[in-house]
Structure 1
Amino acid sequence: MHLTQEAFLAAVQERGEYPSQQEAERAARVVLALLGAHVVGQERAELAARLPETYALILLNPLQAAEPLGPERFVRATAAWIEGATEETAKWDTGAVLSVVADAAGEDLMHRVLLQLPPGYDLLFGHPDRHEADSRQPGERGA
């Protein structure tokens, strides 16, 4: 699925319940710039191909991360880049943007993207329990 820029922003705005499209755009730019530093290779290229061009370019030219950030530090980094943000609002921003990215990516690509990220990102993308399900011992039952 390939989204237009308007459709992508409208989805982020709706999920984030932002009063303006500018706020949705600011969140999208920061979150995708940080995400681009964490996803590499074929998965990053495929993910970019499913996003509107403006956001694909942000993903492909990311803010550099010295090390992979765990989900909590990713949210803190988002807060640092968004003026006036708190950790709570940044968690909201991250979830709004990444859940739209996950929808655009589709199940197979999202699975491969999550394998590149530290554990816990599935929650930020709105896909809880993905890692736990993958790491369960044979014979164990899920909740």
Structure 2
Amino acid sequence: MSNPPVSSLQLTEDQVLFLITFMHQHTDLLPPQRRNLPAVLARQHRSSLRSSYNARLNELERRERELAQRERELERRLMEVDGHVRGVSGLEKDREVGVTPANQKERNGKDTPPGSFNSAAPGESHSIYPCRDQNSSHRIL
């Protein structure tokens, strides 16, 4: 039975480091033509570590760019939604005519923030039950 080639061995990093260290300490046990083997293995190991480190670093940088792009996209969409909601609720209109929380009570006759559900002017109704009398005790479900 032949030994598998060294390149096909699956060793952990600790095993590789132990092997390199052991061979550095015992180069006299190696045949003369293999005395440089520990240095060669150490270079190969460093090169392997460097390439896997660089591959991992490139992957993390790519993911970071993707996340930054996704964050920008979500912020853009939030600004669109926020602008749409403000336009629908009348907040932009209130700002244009100078309505502030301080003078909102004077405008509506009650103390409610602009754009809120109960911010109807006196005499107006914003009930979610338009067919129900506001003073009645029964509710339509």
Q: TM-score range by the shorter chain?
A: under 0.3
Give the TM-score normalised by the residue count of structure 1: 0.24
Give the TM-score normalised by the residue count of structure 2: 0.24
Higher relative contact order (CA 8 A, sep 6+): 1
